[in-house]
Amino acid sequence: MSWIEITYRVLFSFVVLLIMTRLMGKEHMELTVLKKPKFDYVTNKDMPISVKQNRNLPVQIINNGKIIESVMTEYNLDINWVHSEVKRLGYKDMKDIFYAGINSQGQFFIVPLFKENRYQNH
């Protein structure tokens, strides 16, 4: 198919659409474009601004006695600092810690692991 034939077909289609809209009583042709539902809402990726972490919530550093490495990297925390804070608060072993984190004021806190035998009468 040559470019002339393609041009005639496009022109013919346009004229047919123009005549149909005039017959339907419309003066101007309008084209409506609808977005797909997944693009309805603006997300952080759509905006050219950086999003800061909400520091009003505590950041979990230790979960069930294990340091969360991804959090350490994300918040640029030093593992030696975490160990010194654990010792400063009187814990010898990470296995005794259920949850540890930093609150919005930057204070390190620990929730100890509950051990049943500690609270049973012997």
Of the candidate ranges 12-16, 54-58, 93-97, the one whose mean pLDDT is the lowest: 54-58
* The pLDDT value given to residue 16: 87
* The pLDDT value given to residue 90: 93
* The pLDDT value given to residue 17: 82
* Main-chain phi, psi angles of 84, to 5 degrees: -70, -35
Mean pLDDT throughout 104-108? 88
* The pLDDT value given to residue 117: 55
Owner of token pair 């004021």 = 105
Is residue 119 predicted with pLDDT exceeding 60?
A: no
Is residue 97 predicted with pLDDT exceeding 90?
A: yes
Handedness of CA 63, 69, 71, 77 (dihedral sign): positive
* The pLDDT value given to residue 26: 61
Which two three-digit tokens encode residue 49?
């601004």
pTM, to two decimals: 0.50
DSSP count for the chain of H helices, then E strands = 4, 4
- The answer to whether 97 and 65 have CB atoms below 8 angstroms apart is yes
**Residues 27-84: tens digit of each pLDDT:** 666 667 777 777 777 776 777 766 565 567 889 999 999 999 999 988 889 999 999 9
Residue 92: helix, strand or coil by DSSP?
coil
Which two three-digit tokens encode residue 102?
């930093």
Give 113's pLDDT tier (boundaries 50, 70, 90): confident
* The pLDDT value given to residue 106: 85
DSSP alpha helix (H) spans, 24-122: 69-74, 79-88, 116-119
Q: Domains along the chain?
A: 59-115 (3.30.240.20)
